[in-house]
Amino acid sequence: MASLSRPFSTQERDSIRQQVQLETQLQQEQLAHQMQLQSSAFAQEMASLEMFRKDLEANTIKLNQEKAQWALVRSGMAPPDYYAPDPRPA
């Protein structure tokens, strides 16, 4: 029975090697592109989170100031110009 397998010729080996190199290069380029997209998306998400953090910090400061003012009002220690005039007729 004759053997069906035979060694590759030099031309066939070179062709296979070239094809593997091209596929590897394509995969590397695709991976680099995907990583760049992910990096860009990550940077955008980080910027968005930083804006959210700053807004949250500013709102927390504002809320704490308002809480402190209301504590003064409840205790009767707020400055006189803080109170609005009584809208009821005298």
pTM of the entire structure? 0.54
Q: Give the torsion through C-alpha atoms of 57, 58, 61, 63, to 10 deg.
A: -110
- Residue 84: pLDDT band by 50, 70, 90 thresholds? low
Q: In angstroms, how far is CA 61 from the centroid of its own chain? A: 25
Contact 69, 82 (CB under 8 A): yes
Determine how many CB atoms are found less than 10 A away from the CB of residue 78.
14
Comparing CA positions, the residue from 7, 5, 28, 3 lying closest to residue 16 is: 7
Checking if the pLDDT of 31 tops 90, the result is yes
